[in-house]
Copies of this chain bind each other. A is one copy, B any other.
Amino acid sequence: MPKKTFFNINEEKRKMIEEKAINEFAVYSYENSSINRIVENCKISKGSFYQYFENKEDLFRYIISLSVEKKMKYVNATLISEIDNGFIKIIKEIFKSGLKFAYENEKLASIGVLLMKNNNSEIYHKIIGQNKNMAIDFYKKLIEIEIEKGEIKPDINVEFVSYLINSMIINLSEYFFEINKNNEKKYSEEMLFLVDDLMDMLINGIGL
């Protein structure tokens, strides 16, 4: 957590520091980011920075916490409204809210993707640590319920399918950025079709 001095400075400056830090991590990832560059962009001194934050990790954790907080607002709203509508609907909505978050918070989403992909790094272990299987376990439970309801084949490899869904969610945002890199962004249409395609594929396969 940042030191209390960080929360004492005026909001404009605070937001500016947050923004510059988000920019830095989104472009360079944690390992290759530079405090020197951040303070330079912020036009504050090195000494000031270390009066706001314990160290580089402290800043990164703070930015991640901002990101998680924001993303939760998207996902929680979905979960609450869809919790009784079964696996397909829930997963679909998680995918969609994930994409919506990525679309509306490109930089934060990029930081998240970089962190999740770099899952051998020290910072990944420090931040994600024991929670790394939380999402996967959640999908596992959903799938098991669906198997009991007779909606999903009972002989699938639940562990593996959960893992796959998890990496699909990470990949989906990336793919979306990829196809939209040079085009103008057509969030609402393209994106939702993509999720529908993906879910249809997951449930029914691509074979005839």
Q: What residues of chain A have their CB less than 8 Å away from a CB belonging to chain B?
A: 29, 31-32, 114, 117-118, 120, 143, 150-153, 156-157, 159-161, 163-164, 167-168, 171, 175, 178-179, 193-194, 197-198, 201-208
Contacts and interface: CB of A to CB of B under 8 A. Distances in A.
Chain B CB within 10 Å, residue with most, of A114, A157, A161, A193: A157
B205 A201 contact: yes
A152 B207 contact: yes
Given A118-B118, A204-B205, A205-B204, A164 B171 contact: yes
A68 to B, nearest CB: 22
16 contacts: A114-B120, A118-B118, A152-B207, A152-B208, A153-B206, A153-B207, A156-B197, A160-B194, A164-B168, A164-B171, A164-B198, A167-B167, A201-B205, A202-B206, A202-B207, A203-B206
B175 A163 contact: yes
**So how many copies of this chain end up in the complex?**
2
A152 B206 contact: yes
Contacts of A143: 206
B203 A157 contact: no
Contacts of A32: 31
A204 B205 CA distance: 4
Given A151-B207, A160-B194, 12 more contacts: A117-B118, A156-B206, A157-B194, A160-B175, A161-B201, A161-B206, A163-B175, A167-B171, A202-B206, A203-B207, A204-B205, A205-B205
A121 to B, nearest CB: 9
